């Protein structure tokens, strides 16, 4: 019984941490690039991760036009 309770608490903790990390990545994109919260909240976790990777790739290439065209659809 105690092991089940501890496992349940560990699962709940894992879910809460995962949710907070997801929300922090959305908050980063909103603060850094001025993107719209509603448009970003419609994305699933994989699409959000792909968006962040694409943004980072374009920043490393120093391509401002590509970066602007990528994030234009997510701006308010």
pTM: 0.73
- Taking only the tens place, the pLDDT of each residue in 14-68 is 999 988 988 888 899 999 999 999 998 898 889 998 999 999 999 999 999 999 9
| Distance of alpha carbon 76 from alpha carbon 74, whole angstroms | 7
pLDDT at residue number 41:
85
pLDDT at residue number 14:
96
pLDDT at residue number 21:
85
pLDDT at residue number 5:
93
| Distance of alpha carbon 64 from alpha carbon 58, whole angstroms | 8
């Amino acid at each position: 019984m105690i092991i089940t309770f501890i496992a349940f608490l560990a699962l709940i903790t894992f879910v809460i941490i995962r949710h907070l990390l997801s929300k922090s990545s959305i908050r980063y994109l909103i603060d850094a690039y001025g993107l719209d919260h509603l448009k970003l909240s419609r994305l699933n976790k994989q699409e959000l991760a792909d968006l962040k990777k694409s943004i980072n790739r374009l920043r490393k290439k120093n391509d401002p036009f590509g970066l602007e065209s990528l994030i234009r659809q997510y701006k308010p």
